[in-house]
Chain A
Amino acid sequence: MSSIDWIVLVLTLSVIIVYGLYRSRTTKDLDGYFRSNQSMPWFLVLLSIMGTQASAITFLSAPGQAYTDGMRFVQYYFGLPLAMIVICIAFVPVFKKLNVYTAYEFLENRFDLRTRTLTSILFLISRGLSTGISVFAPSIILSSLFGWNIYFTNVVMGGMLIIYTVSGGARAVAYTQQLQFIIIFIGMFLAGYLVIQMLPDSVGFVDALHVSGKLGKLNVITTGMKDGSFDWSDKYNIWSGLIGGFFLALSYFGTDQSQVGRYLTAKSLKESRVGLLMNGLVKIPMQFLILLIGVLVFCFYSFFQAPVFFNSVEMKKLEKSAIYSDSLQVLKQDFNQLNLQKQAAVAHYVQLNNGAENTSEMDAQILEMRRLDAASNVLRKKVKTWIDSPSIKGDSNDTNYIFLRFVIDFLPKGLVGLLIAIIFLAAWGSIAAALNSLASSSIIDLHKRHSSVQLTKDQEYRLSRWYTFGWGVFCIAVACFAYNLGNSLIEVVNILGSIFYGPILGIFLCAFWMKSCSAKAVFWSALLSQTVVIILFKTTSISFLWYNVIGCLILMLAAWILSHSIFKKLNNL
């Protein structure tokens, strides 16, 4: 990175920390620290919800996802607006009425202390580990690209935000997320604008869309049908997005304290609801635009030389390998040759598309572009197979590296620093909210509920700050440990989240809508549904989004049956 980039990076991060500290002033009690005295307007709630959900990997991975797999990933969010409505109708009024600090307080109110404690412990374990991975994921990418020390990067990624999160709690988190989001959007907009500007003079935005579309990247809506039947292993299609995405979003926004804690800071029920509904309105267009940047980067590389694999660290391993180095040289030459042919074919297609209509020639040109693109992908796949081989044992997934590789290689000085800062800011936004929620559940659901020692308001406040600090250290430690376990953990964490979210959502839905369900029935049904989901995960290839639906529905059905059979009889004895 150039010195200008370093100045921009350090300045941007410093501004956020100082701003966070400046906004830290709040009452020194649990209400001030965890709910910001319930004073937030809807737009801060909205930005806080969005900032919590969008981690660094969202901004790194989504453009890469569009580059490799097209825009169909946007369907993953189709269930979100519907979930926002259900949460506004059923969840938020109850949380606000009971004046809770955490979602799990409600479970004791409805069932018993055992259910509350179990659910909060499950949350602490899963959120603590996944936050550690949220620190590790962008750190490993940045350290690979710039040669930074991974442990140092982890400490900066997960440690600097602790300063204002410990100091200001939920209020500092919300205000910094607001500023972070503004900076993120300015940076992403500039990146998108510059990609279009860097295309050849004869190629406009619409041409870029035509090229990307013809090469299968604008597959925004897909049905998941394969050979006349529905493909249950297909990750992203309209049905898995609407149904699976609905259950996932309902579980995440309705039962995960890292999100519940954001809308509990709102100054009224109305402000909470408006924040959530606005999230339902803007989330899909926002993801669409981020994915569109990836499509534009794909189009850019249709006119310029693309690397055969975007993670240069893994490529260096292959170059040094006695087994693969010679084959790699030959493959690179073939790939470059194919790329030149593809560039010529794409340029000719654009020319035809803008000129007088000649359908047969244009069709032939489209087929030629697709043939060359498919041939390039075969070579990319071959490199990935080599990286996966026992002698290399590398990470063959370069999706997360595509966008940053483009940024470093082609964007002007200064903007590179800004985009690296954006990665930090996006990470900080979600990690800060997670630390705040981990601390709130630790002290409210466990410490205060299970300790016989009465604390003063000031002691509670100071202890909350220590819990926040402690969880911050824990997450950095997890990030440092994750370094030894490889990149695929990121995907594993997403899948694990879906395995556990279904039953947790089922517990909450039983609590809200199935008044006849007893605490015992729900507890045993939770164990049953969790077991079924794990068996499905182990023995089938069903896409992970469906686990949320299956886990939730099995729990509700089993809880109803048990409440009206075995446990009804036991209660009658």
Chain B
Amino acid sequence: MTETDPNEKAPIMGSWKGMYALVISVLLLLIILFYMFTAAFA
């Protein structure tokens, strides 16, 4: 039977909120890096 406990701990960042924040932070970082990449070579 599968584990369905919504309070199951996230593997990194300590909590699921931390994981979500990590994903959003990486997205923002990528957008900034892509912007710099575009500006550097265009």
Assess the A221–B35 pair: CB atoms within 8 A. Answer: yes
Please tell me which one of the listed residues B5, B34, B37 contacts residue A269 in the complex, with CB atoms under 8 A apart. Answer: B5
* A110 at the binding interface (Cβ < 8 Å): no
* A74 at the binding interface (Cβ < 8 Å): yes
Contacts A/B (CB < 8 Å), 28 sampled:
A38-B2, A78-B27, A78-B31, A85-B24, A89-B16, A93-B4, A97-B4, A210-B41, A213-B41, A218-B42, A219-B38, A220-B34, A220-B38, A221-B35, A221-B38, A267-B3, A268-B2, A270-B8, A270-B11, A273-B19, A274-B10, A274-B11, A277-B19, A280-B23, A280-B27, A281-B26, A284-B27, A284-B30
The answer for the CA separation of A212 and B14 in the assembled complex, in Å, is 42
Main secondary structure of the interface of B (DSSP, over half): helix
Contacts of B24 in A (CB 8 A): 81-82, 85
Within 8 A of B (CB), among A62-95: 74, 78, 81-82, 84-85, 88-89, 93
Contacts of A82 in B (CB 8 A): 24, 27
Assess the B4–A218 pair: CB atoms within 8 A. Answer: no
Assess the A221–B34 pair: CB atoms within 8 A. Answer: yes
Q: Distance (Å) between the CB of A322 and the closest chain B CB?
A: 44
The answer for the CA separation of A165 and B42 in the assembled complex, in Å, is 46
Assess the A81–B4 pair: CB atoms within 8 A. Answer: no
Assess the A269–B27 pair: CB atoms within 8 A. Answer: no
Assess the B27–A81 pair: CB atoms within 8 A. Answer: yes
**From A72, which residue of chain B is reached at the shortest CB distance?**
B38
Residue tally, chain A, CB below 8 Å to B: 37
The answer for the CA separation of A155 and B7 in the assembled complex, in Å, is 47
The answer for the CA separation of A368 and B11 in the assembled complex, in Å, is 54
Assess the B41–A218 pair: CB atoms within 8 A. Answer: yes
* A209 at the binding interface (Cβ < 8 Å): yes
Give the 10 A-B residue pairs with the shortest CB-CB distance, closest first: A213-B41, A268-B3, A220-B34, A38-B2, A96-B4, A218-B41, A270-B8, A81-B27, A221-B35, A85-B20
With A81-B23, A219-B38, A273-B16 already in contact, the answer to whether A267 and B31 are too (CB < 8 A) is: no
Q: Distance (Å) between the CB of A152 and the closest chain B CB?
A: 42
* A521 at the binding interface (Cβ < 8 Å): no
The answer for the CA separation of A270 and B15 in the assembled complex, in Å, is 11
* A238 at the binding interface (Cβ < 8 Å): yes
Contacts of A486 in B (CB 8 A): none
Starting from the known contacts A210-B41, A267-B3, A285-B30, 10 additional A-B residue pairs (CB-CB under 8 Å) come to A81-B23, A81-B27, A82-B24, A88-B16, A93-B6, A96-B2, A213-B42, A220-B38, A277-B23, A280-B23
* A200 at the binding interface (Cβ < 8 Å): no
Q: By CB atoms of chain A within 10 A, which of B4, B5, B24 has the most?
A: B4
The answer for the CA separation of A219 and B20 in the assembled complex, in Å, is 28
* A214 at the binding interface (Cβ < 8 Å): yes
The answer for the CA separation of A270 and B23 in the assembled complex, in Å, is 16
Please tell me which one of the listed residues A74, A218, A270 contacts residue B10 in the complex, with CB atoms under 8 A apart. Answer: A270
The answer for the CA separation of A71 and B36 in the assembled complex, in Å, is 14
The answer for the CA separation of A370 and B7 in the assembled complex, in Å, is 57
With A88-B16, A88-B20, A284-B27 already in contact, the answer to whether A269 and B35 are too (CB < 8 A) is: no
Assess the B23–A84 pair: CB atoms within 8 A. Answer: yes
Q: Distance (Å) between the CB of A244 and the closest chain B CB?
A: 16
Encode contact with B along A182-220: 1 for CB under 8 Å, 0 otherwise.
000000000000000000000000000110111010111
The answer for the CA separation of A221 and B31 in the assembled complex, in Å, is 8
Contacts of A267 in B (CB 8 A): 2-3
The answer for the CA separation of A277 and B1 in the assembled complex, in Å, is 23
Assess the B38–A218 pair: CB atoms within 8 A. Answer: yes
Contacts of A78 in B (CB 8 A): 27, 31
Within 8 A of B (CB), among A212-233: 212-214, 216, 218-221
* A266 at the binding interface (Cβ < 8 Å): yes
Assess the B31–A281 pair: CB atoms within 8 A. Answer: no
**From B21, which residue of chain A is reached at the shortest CB distance?**
A85
Q: Distance (Å) between the CB of B40 and the closest chain A CB?
A: 8
Contacts of B27 in A (CB 8 A): 78, 81-82, 280, 284
